[in-house]
Amino acid sequence: MESTILLVRHASHPLLGRTLCGRMPGVSLDDAGRAQAARLGARIAARAPAAIHTSPLERARETADLLAEACGCPVLPCDGLNEIDFGAWSGQDFPALADDPRWTTWNEARATSRPPGGESMVEAQVRVVAALDGLRRRHPGRVVVAVSHADVIKAAILWAVGASLDAYHRIEIGPAGVSALALRDGGATLLSMNEGLA
């Protein structure tokens, strides 16, 4: 049976665009992010989701909690929605990473490279696709919200459309952006991508 998965990127936080946060702890939403999530909750409530599943990281959990206030449905942790493990790069500012040739390789060849001591995008894609299929099976025929992170959402979308992970840079997933997949046995259809709050 087909289910609709609403892939939601966490809302904004103070380090956005400055630091590769990865899985570092203590990254919480800022006031703008909390306002984004509250506005998004009102929109998502109209879809009557069965549940909100979330990455375990603070910025995703806080987004999920604000969505749940509007939707009146439970928030459930899902490790498969976690951010990519960026290993030694976690917590580094982007200007510092620009001098690392491995960072250049990572951004030019996502299908074949890996962060130092971290997780490849292929591994992240396998993980998130398995998690989404689990949500489909858990909530057959329903709308489900999955709060995650930009690169993880990109990996899921690229899987759904049958594109290489090297095409990740052709997709923009903004803070509190929503993308929708229809999942069924054996595949998925991309219904929408990076819908903002306008």
Tell me the domain boundaries of the chain. Answer: 3-195
The helix or strand, by DSSP H or E, that contains position 143, with its residue range, turns out to be strand 143-148
Query: Of 195, 176, 177, which is closest to residue 13 (Cα–Cα)?
Result: 176
Taking 70 as the threshold, does the pLDDT of residue 198 lie above it? no
Going by pLDDT thresholds of 50, 70 and 90, the confidence category of residue 1 is confident
Q: What does the pLDDT look like over 156-170, one tens digit per residue? A: 999 999 999 999 999
Architecture of domain 3-195: 3-Layer(aba) Sandwich (3.40)
